[in-house]
Structure 1
Amino acid sequence: MIKGFKNFLMRGDVIVVAVGLIVALAFSTLIKAFTDFVINPIIARAQGSRSVGLGWQLGQGGNKATYLDIGSFISALIYFIIFMAVVYFLIVVPYKHYSARRGATVFGEPGPVKTCAACLSEDLPAAATKCRHCGTEQPPVARV
């Protein structure tokens, strides 16, 4: 039972989804900070109000609603970079090493692709003989 749980957790799909969710969470924090401390003050200034911090006051002094708070945005940006570094070095790198020992390649460079002449889809593997989207025959790739 424990071995099955370990195999479930170490599947590539689970790790990729987990890393994707972590990146999305950190990116959403960055976007929230951008909207809260840069976009919202610009909008509030159009309405008229006051505030304080590292940035510019767009309206009357002391009105936080119209304060372009660059300091908070820089803090969120630093948070995002540190958070992504932690995710990379504590999750991605060890998982790549573990997968390499098992003979699997994860988070590697994507393989070569080609474009279908009929439907112009650009995601066909270079070795494909038929287009996965429209089914047309693909010419073989010249090998060097």
Structure 2
Amino acid sequence: MFRGFKNFLMRGDVIIAAVGLVVALAFSTLIQAFADAVINPLVAAIQGGSGPGLGWQLRDGGGDATFLNVGAFISAIIYFVIFMAVVYFVIVVPYKHIQARRGIEAFGDPAPVKTCPACLSADIPAEASKCKYCGTEQPADAV
């Protein structure tokens, strides 16, 4: 019973779903707090002055609704880069290592493909002798 459960958990699609859901929930709050507490004050300090943030007011006398906040966009980019680094180093690298120990290549290079000369489908496996869409015989040397 536990062997089947272990095999289910080590399937690639289950791990990918876990990366997309669990990791996003777990690290999103932590990294958002880092961006709000560290990155936003640094961006505001670079701007100087006492304005609402790094950016431009699009209309005289306008409030937050007409403020083009470039600082928030820079913070979002930094947040995204940090989040992706955490996902890669905390989830993907250990998963690749575990799968390599099991003899399975995870997150490897995609299989080579070729383009059908008749219907121009570009996702035919390189070893295919016929096109899966139009049935045309494929030359053996085309990659």
Question: 1:88–1:69: structure 2 CA closer, same or farther, 3 Å change rule?
Answer: same
Cα deviation code 1:83-106 (max 9, x no counterpart): 000000111111111111111112
Instruction: Summarize the Cα distance change of 1:105–1:119 in structure 2 as closer, same or farther, 3 Å threshold.
Output: same
Q: What's 1:68 paired with?
A: 68
The CA deviation at 1:24 is 8.7
Unaligned runs of 5+ in 1: 27-50
Matched-pair contact (CA < 8 Å) for 1:52–1:63? no
* Partner residue, 2:17: 17
Rate the CA distance shift 1:117–1:22 in 2: closer, same or farther, 3 A.
Answer: farther
Deviation track 1:99-120 (CA, whole Å, cap 9, x = no partner) reads 1111111211112211001111
Normalising by structure 1, report the TM-score: 0.71
Q: Give SS of 1:68's match.
A: strand
Q: What is the SS of the residue equivalent to 2:119? A: coil
Task: Report if aligned partners of 1:23, 1:84 keep a CA contact under 8 Å in 2.
Answer: no
Give runs of ≥4 in structure 1 deviating > 2 Å. Answer: 1-6, 16-26
Q: Quote the residue 1:107 is aligned against.
A: 107
CA distance in 2, matches of 1:136, 1:54: 58
User: In 2 relative to 1, CA 80–105 (structure 1 residues): closer, same or farther, beyond 3 Å?
Assistant: same
RMSD of the alignment, in Å? Answer: 2.7
- Paired residues, what number? 119
Instruction: Specify the code of the residue in structure 2 equivalent to 1:13.
Output: D
Unaligned runs of 5+ in 2: 29-50
